Amino acid sequence: MNLVKTYGGWKNRQLIAFFERYARVVLTRYADKVKYWMTFNEINSALHFPVMSQGLVASNGGNEMQNRYQAWHNQFVAGAKAVAIAHQLRSDLQIGCMLLYATTYAYDANPENQLAALKENQAMNHFCGDVQVRGEYPLYTESLMNHYGFSFKDLDTKPEDFKVLAANPVDYIGFSYYMSTAVNVTDKRLATANGNLVGGVKNPFLEASDWGWQIDPAGLRIALNELANRYNKPVFVVENGLGAKDVPDANHFVQDDYRINYLRAHIEAIRGAIADGVPVMGYTPWGCIDLVSASTGQMSKRYGFIYVDLDDEGHGTMKRYKKASFDWYKQVIASNGEQL
């Protein structure tokens, strides 16, 4: 909060030095215990939600896209410096980036929608990864910025920034995956998928969650293939899960077969990607216990294997109860995904 109030969030270059110091302290302390790290959670989500990853709101310039790209640049440099620190400490430390990834389709074969899907992929799914994994800005950078009325030269950069980026790319790609999206610019009559975090239109081939997020296990297999083959580095699914309305019975038990089915289908998609040759490092679902949903601020949007007796108003005993998915996922872990 102090970084937001005093310094204006990540659009301020001073945060690079702050983060470098923070990373050095934490990495030095835990280098012997923790081998896998990630720098900024869902860094690309700032395209739509800059408050969550950049500390930018309307009052400190969050509505101006130039500030978001400036904040990204500062984060890219800070993250690269963290990579350098880690590799200096131990050769076996691995630092990854972390993306919010939504596999993006054109709604149909209309070339205008195909082009729009390409542009959406560049802006949302690829830009932050391209810089952090490749160590340089992609060719389409100026096009992205021109779309919002500014140029790359308008950003506050220093020559040494680009040397740091080039010398310290991340070791792997971590990402969250909850849904896919479909892009349409040709038919204004199509219904929008309001539940989707990144917008788009409803995909007629997919079912949706209680909150309108389109469920697409095949999209995860596509995402794994796209990322691994784009960057030729290992990939790690670090978030995947189903937010649902859980109704416990008289014994506080939730028979959440819908959650089991969702996770099973996505783990099977990962198995398919591995068969495709994708180097998948791991899979961690969101999440193990019910908590307030970041996307809606609701307790009633539940993801966990453990039910917490608490409602959206904060009323309840806060006691915890295993759902059906608890023992199911315990078996999945024990068998390394063989028993689904």
Check which CATH number belongs to the domain holding 44 and give it. 3.20.20.80
Is residue 223, in this structure, part of any structural domain at all?
Answer: no
105 and 200: one domain?
Answer: yes
206 and 310: one domain?
Answer: no
73 and 191: one domain?
Answer: yes
Mean pLDDT score, 52-57: 94
264 and 306: one domain?
Answer: yes
Per-residue pLDDT of 234-289, as tens digits, reads 999 999 999 999 999 999 999 999 999 999 999 999 999 999 999 999 999 999 99
113 and 198: one domain?
Answer: yes
DSSP assigned state of 191: P
240 and 113: one domain?
Answer: no
36 and 164: one domain?
Answer: yes
| Residues involved in catalysis | 239
The residue range of the domain holding 39 is 1-126+134-170+180-215
301 and 156: one domain?
Answer: no
The total number of structural domains that make up the chain = 2
Percent of the chain with pLDDT over 70: 99
**Own/partner pairs, 31-35, CB within 8 angstroms, 24+ separation:** 31/86, 31/89, 31/90, 31/93, 32/90, 35/92, 35/93, 35/94
Is residue 222, in this structure, part of any structural domain at all?
Answer: no
Position 196 scores a pLDDT of 59
Q: Please state the φ and ψ torsions of residue 307, each to the nearest 5 degrees.
A: -85, 130
21 and 141: one domain?
Answer: yes
Is residue 75, in this structure, part of any structural domain at all?
Answer: yes
Identity (one letter) of the amino acid at 76?
F
Indicate the pLDDT class of residue 294, thresholds 50, 70 and 90: confident
Position 197 scores a pLDDT of 67
User: Which is more confident, 307 or 191?
Assistant: 307
Is residue 220, in this structure, part of any structural domain at all?
Answer: no
pLDDT at 194 over 80: no
Q: Among 63-72, 114-123, 199-208, 221-230, where is mean pLDDT lowest? A: 199-208
For residues 295 and 126, give the distance between their C-alpha atoms in angstroms, rounded to a whole number.
Answer: 22
45 and 81: one domain?
Answer: yes
Question: Which tokens sit at 197?
Answer: 């975090």
Mean pLDDT score, 132-154: 98
